[in-house]
Amino acid sequence: MSLELAIILPTLNERDNLAPLVARIGSALEGTEYEIIVVDDDSADGTAEEARRLAAAHPRLRVIQRIGRRGLASAAIEGFCATAADYVAVMDADHQHDPALLPAMLEAVRGGEADVAVASRFLAGSSTDAWNAPQRERLSGAANRMARRLTGVDLSDPMSGYFLLSAVRARALSPRLSGIGFKILLDILASSPETLTVREFPLAFAARRSGASKLDRAVALDFLAGIYERFLGRIVPVRFALFGTVGAIGVLVHFAILLVLLEGLSVPFTSAQAAATFGAMSFNFWLNNWLTYRDQRLRGAAALFRGWAGFCASCAVGALANVALASLLEARGVYPFLAALAGIAVGSVWNYALSSRFVWGRF
């Protein structure tokens, strides 16, 4: 029999969850020719090594260990391109997605009933009682409502991470996908040149079996990345757009510091602009580390200090141009806050290029 289904498991620190999940998938797909592809983002807990250990005794299991690359969406795309199976499914490795749904989802797509089968947390008959994460549940619900408005996709759960479609279709759409963040299903549905038919299956969304969730409040930025990619991706690089969003918040910090120093403390403009630039730079480092580059987030006091110092050094030339141009314009009679804004604009592209490369190791 030919290989029919590939189950792609993007993983990050899921070592203890793998063996029981492989067993559950095997029980659910008895009689089906399938393979499991673990796409691991170089987990610190040895997930890739555990996957290789299991694969030595389980010929249906393969592992891709990615070095220097992270993210659920890009992991799923690599899985699409790594299999010879007719159909591909993406699901989490933490046991929140029930493998027992796979046969029905496969039959729906194989039989032509739908182009994509989706396991929904919010369809009638679904349950999130075991999730026990009301804040995450509200965030997911809000993101789903926004996704439906922006894309016209009429689903109860367009942000679901558990879905199945034909491998040929998945690979054909892969060049159109952003590969950023976690919203791979929404990206597939929004990027398809033709409207895809979808059938949803009610999912009893379970509690995580072991370990801690890798999703935090920064998932909102991943959703924002999807919106940028959808509407601006052909004009402005998505990562730069995200960096610019953080920078826009930093502008408010810059102006707040400038206002206090100029109006409250009567500090000369050049000194005030320099202090505001340094303060905004430090704020931008913290916010970019927490949000824009959260897949490469620096942790620990030593790493954070080195990263902050590297960020400031990378941005030093941009900051110098910022202060010099703003001071020149202000000296020639330009309104101080307009002069400051011009200085910020000049430094932003330089800051993005160097900090992306030398602080977080991304082009």
CB < 8 Å & 24+ apart, contacts of 147-152: 147/183, 147/186, 147/223, 150/227, 150/230, 151/186, 151/189, 151/190, 151/230
Least confident range of 25-34, 258-267, 327-336: 327-336
CATH superfamily, domain at 5-217? Spore Coat Polysaccharide Biosynthesis Protein SpsA; Chain A (3.90.550.10)
Least confident range of 4-8, 50-54, 352-356: 352-356
Between 229 and 104, where is the model more confident?
104
What is the pLDDT at residue 339?
A: 82
Name the residue ranges covered by the structural domains of the chain.
5-217, 238-358
- Give the other-Cβ count within 10 Å of 229's Cβ: 24
d(CA 38, CA 48): 8
Q: Is the pLDDT of residue 270 over 70?
A: yes
Across 69-92, average pLDDT: 92
- Give the other-Cβ count within 10 Å of 317's Cβ: 13
d(CA 58, CA 222): 35
Structure tokens at 28: 């659910």
Q: What is the pLDDT of residues 115-157, one digit of tens each?
A: 999 999 888 877 766 555 555 556 556 666 665 665 556 777 7
Which run of H or of E encompasses 70?
A: none
pTM > 0.85: no
Structure tokens at 356: 């992306």
Residue 117's DSSP bridge partners are: 164, 199
Q: Using only C-alpha atoms, what is the Rg of the chain? A: 24
Q: What is the pLDDT of residues 181-230, one digit of tens each?
A: 667 888 888 888 888 999 999 998 766 556 555 554 455 556 666 666 66
